[in-house]
Structure 1
Amino acid sequence: MSWRVVHVTNIDQLSLHLDNLQVKRGDEELKIPLSDIFSLIIEDLTCKLTSRLIVELSKHNILVILCGQDHLPEAQIIPVSGHFGQHKRMLQQLNWSEDNQQVLWQKIIRQKIYNQSRVMERSHIEQARVNRLFNLMTEVEDWDIHNAEAQAAKIYFNSFFDETYHRGDRDRIENAALNYGYAVLHAAIGRTIVAKGLLPNVGVFHRGERNPFNLASDLIEPLRPVIDAYVLESPPEDYLTKEYRVKLINLLHATVLIGGKKQTVIRAIDMFISSLINYFDANGDENLLKLPSAEKMVVHEL
């Protein structure tokens, strides 16, 4: 399984050499086997990419993220066909049972709230606030109609910041860091969704007409606390420095618990999506679902 995350800045050209990514800067040259690469994140707006390389990156299901001047991901390249049984898988997805989707969404939100509570415990937040999240987790209903997710989020973020904090405040560097980490994670999930032959724009809960990755927007929820934990425990001192961005990217190698074992986030995404497919194929057998847990999560040894 591919594992390497390549971050590109201050580079002259990226090209293909045999089955390797060839990186050039002046007279310097580096080659990385394509089979090792999970994702390629390009922050250099002057870097040249050859068309031949782009085609091979797509064939290898390598996630390619292009960033703008603010360093935040602006675009990504995904393959047109990522799975040998894509047509069959897509037809099955379009016929997923509404009841099974509802159960899945309920479990996703419960797991997200649980993982948020674990992040709070890591930071020694007062137990009364942690208990409020545990209570909300048990109260998540069909499609979360009473919005326990939003209630939990308010308690969660207000436990770390003052009452004036708002996730939409773009002037706060903590939000910039969270948004960057979420964007990389969201793209990684989208890449794996396509590689599994699923339609990324057909979500379970998220159904935005302008969102090409509704399903990724669903599946990111229980994994957001991985990004949260790092940003809260190692807050940025300046706006998205290169060093800090690299650390956020490397959170794809953080470890979480899934299926009773510790796995990297990259591997957990793969297992999570595979279990989701098995769940629907078995007409909603909940025993087949494997959701990532923040229990025993490791985000610093990167």
Structure 2
Amino acid sequence: MRKTCMILAVGFITLVVSGAYSDGIAADYPTRPVEIVCPNAPGGGMDFVLTLFKGPVEKILKQPIIFTFKPGAAGLTGTLYAKSLKPDGYSLLAASPSTFILPPLTRKTADYTLDDFTPILNLTTIPQAFCVPENSPYKTMRDLIEGAKTKKLQYSTHGAYTIAHIAMEALGKMAGFKAIHIPYKGAAAAMTAAIGGHVDMACSATTAFVGPGRLRLLAVASDHRLEGYPDVPTLKELGYPIYGQVYYSIWGPKGVPEEIVGTLADAYEKAFEQNREEITKIAKSQEHTILFLKNKELKKSFQEQHDFYKKFLAEYK
């Protein structure tokens, strides 16, 4: 009996000390640089969003934010790496539906669920953009669709079974054509391939490469036309109700303390409030909309998207 009581007492003391230690760490956080693992290559939409907030957030946290790029397997490489890191708030994961939601639905090696990570904050959202080289004979999306019915077109995305890939395949099924998918490592590489004429079309969640001598934007997969491109129709307007909105968010490994989650989310929101005009202007230049979804809201949104794509993939196999 005495031995049992002693074991229980030691266990209780350990828990109390452990809890106090954890609380102390959370209260002092951060005391060193914060790493964000990016499962995409540099130069794409995720890199843009992380960089957009980097400076202002560093000033609030008073610590550097370091990006670690680990592209590969449509985001799976970086996501699995981040899953293995300590949940101490110093190693985070940048995530989008393509890199985070789709791998478990399309790859047997993606042995994780949303529950294996801690949701922190969504930052921006942007629709998929369907682009062709400026010298392309296809001036409109209808032109491209009609051309694709008679000629096997090639299109690039930033990876197999990404939202861009699924959106394009869905368009082909709805419109009655089959195109050849050429995956690249990163949105920048996919768009550059189109600029160079290596593919007939590119699909990605970025308009950074649209402009004279580069790419022409034909359509977007969203509910509304983009503010910067009022003459470019949505796929829904053309009769193809395809979901293609991308959310750029930050997560941590499972078990990040609530206090640290709150500190990080508050830092990003405060950074935006202090630099609202500048951040909004830069975000809009690439057609990003600021959309903060904190913790449970973020988890709910990604779970709904997960359920949508799971059903979508089952129907389009």
Please state which band the TM-score falls in when normalised by the shorter chain. under 0.3
TM-score (norm 1): 0.24
Higher relative contact order (CA 8 A, sep 6+): 2
TM-score (norm 2): 0.23
Larger radius of gyration: 2
